[in-house]
Amino acid sequence: MKSRPKFDDLVDCLISIVGSLPDQRAGNNLKYTMEDIALSAFSVFFTQSPSFLDFQKSMREQKGKDNAESFFKVKNIPTDNHIRECLDKIDPRFFFPVFNTVFNTLEQNGIVDSYRSFNNNLLLALDGTWYHSSKTIHCDKCLRINHKDGSTTFYHSAITPVIVKPGNDKVIALPPEFITPQDGHSKQDCENAAAKRWITQNGPEYAPLGITVLGDDLYCRHPLCMLLLEQGFDFILTCKPDSHKALYEWLNDFEEGVNIFSFTKKKWNGKFNEFHTFRYANSLPLRDSEDTLWVNWCELTITDENQKTLYKNSFVTNFVINQHNVEQIVADGRARFKVENENNNVLKTKGYNLEHNFGHGKEYLSMLLMTFNVLAFLFHTVLEYCDNKYRLLRSKLPSRKTFFDDIRTLTRYLYFESWGEMLEFMLKGLEQRHRINPP
């Protein structure tokens, strides 16, 4: 995908992976190829239509052709149960190269560089999120919460890394890291440990690009910060007083104008004036130990004209802070919330239904389907950047729900020779409606 990627290019990228998937089936159980099985599953997430395959089966019976084949190159549509059974054996990491290929294509097209911020770095936000929980359904990859009443909650969780930028509502998804019981470890896996694995495994791929890692206070710990620096990453991490007592004791001893500095700016937010007070200091111990990492600290407090606090947060970073860069460093640190607002919340509430149990399985199924869901979101982001028809339609139908509701309806009743033909049909329909019902 050296040129601007289109829908067919993204599907071909998937096909290049599914052709090499391991197939443990034998005997007469080979009617469907692994390509058909994986692409059929992915089509459900991409179209945000749980019944997409059922609709296409009916269309194939009636018309001898269907959109699963014309869009996703599915030759034979398997049953849902067969899809789940076969994919349960597939480690989701087989599909991680797709994330890297898509990222590289966005980089070649100059889109990645548009995300660069302070120090000309890309901002990589890390956060963990649940994507399945149940009191009964579980597998060996589940984490557990044992309650006082004797019941147990089984759940799946993962780190969902994304590239973000202040002022940009689109994020670029990178390969997830699953929080699962680890072989040879007696302790239950946790978000911090999963973050360390992601950093170690992906450092060689992404750190050379110039990356600033963003994270909440959970990530602001000596071992993880040291690992980030060792892997070639910079960082801006939330730093709370309760969990960093040594650092804040040093701050309390600093003298204003000598070791710690502050200034206030008045800003109009569109409704009323806000007062943004920045404070910053350099060379502080991250923890109370002789081998501590020395970091730099900044804080933003936003108040209204009545001195009511509207926002307050503080960050530590390896960047040296001064009056000229503290605003941008704080803005970058605050962009961490985009991993929640523009990624995790979108995946949970905007049609992707991340927390829905699409199929749990006994081994990898839940993790693999979560990966397909994130990949579908990434593909949609790519199309918004690179496909003019897709971008125009999304501008006319800004609600994801409306856009995919229309796709579900159209693909249920009509056959299109290609994805592009369907987009053209939708655009013509909108143009006709606009002429009939002018604003």
Predicted pLDDT of residue 438: 45
The pLDDT assigned to 439 comes to 44
Position 393 scores a pLDDT of 95
Instruction: Quote the pLDDT of residue 181.
Output: 81
Looking at the DSSP bridge assignments, the partners of residue 213 are 124, 235
Asked whether residue 126 is domain-assigned, the answer is yes
Contact assessment for residue 190 and residue 174, using Cβ atoms and an 8 Å cutoff: no
Q: Does residue 105 lie in a domain region?
A: no
Residue 4's pLDDT is: 81
How many CB atoms sit inside 10 A of residue 332's CB?
26
Helix count (H) and strand count (E) of the chain?
A: 16, 13
As a whole number of Å, the end-to-end CA separation of the chain is: 40
CATH number at residue 118: 3.90.350.10
Residue 163: closest CA among 200, 210, 204: 210
Contacts (Cβ under 8 Å, ≥6 apart) of 312: 299, 300, 301, 302
Parent domain of 173: 111-346
User: Does the residue 102 lie in any domain?
Assistant: no
Position 239 scores a pLDDT of 98
Whether residue 104 lies inside any domain: the answer is no
Residues paired with residue 237 on neighbouring β-strands, in sequence order: 215, 316
Q: Looking at the structure, do residues 82 and 35 belong to the same domain, yes or no?
A: yes
Predicted confidence at residue 25, as pLDDT, reads 78
Per-residue confidence in pLDDT tens, the chain, 439 aa: 557 889 999 999 999 999 889 988 776 667 899 999 999 999 999 999 999 999 999 999 999 999 999 999 999 999 999 999 999 999 999 999 999 999 999 999 999 999 999 999 999 999 999 998 999 999 888 999 999 999 999 999 999 999 999 999 999 999 999 999 875 555 678 999 999 999 999 999 999 999 999 999 999 999 999 999 999 999 999 999 999 999 999 999 999 999 999 999 999 999 999 999 999 999 999 999 999 999 999 999 999 999 999 999 999 999 999 999 999 999 999 999 999 999 999 999 999 999 888 889 999 999 999 999 999 999 999 999 999 999 999 999 989 999 999 999 999 999 999 999 999 999 999 887 655 444 4
- Say if residue 116 is in the same domain as residue 79: no
Q: Same domain for 72 and 138?
A: no
Residue 410 neighbours by CB distance under 10 Å: 16
Could you tell me how far CA 356 lies from the centroid of its own chain? Answer: 17
- Cα 330 from Cα 322, distance rounded (Å): 12
156 lies in a domain?
Answer: yes
pLDDT at 30 (0 to 100)? 78
Q: Is the domain of 173 the same as that of 205?
A: yes
In a domain, 309, yes or no: yes
- Indicate the residue among 295, 319, 346 that finishes a domain: 346
Together in a domain, 294 and 150: yes
Alpha-carbon distance of 24 to 38, in angstroms, equals 14
**C-beta of residue 178 within 8 angstroms of C-beta of residue 156:** yes
Query: 253 and 180, same structural domain?
Result: yes
Are 252 and 176 members of one domain? yes
Question: Do residues 170 and 223 both lie within one domain?
Answer: yes
Across the strands, what pairs with 265?
276
In a domain, 1, yes or no: no
Residue 101, in any domain of the structure: no
161/258 same-domain check:
yes
The tally of domains found in the chain comes to 2
Last residue of a domain, one of 346, 374, 391: 346
β-partners of residue 299 are: 279, 314
Residues 119, 73 share a domain: no
Same domain, 129 and 241: yes
Do 261 and 144 have their domain in common? yes
Q: For residue 341, what is the DSSP state?
A: I
Residue finishing a domain among 292, 323, 346: 346
Spell out the alpha helix ranges (H) of 177-221.
191-206
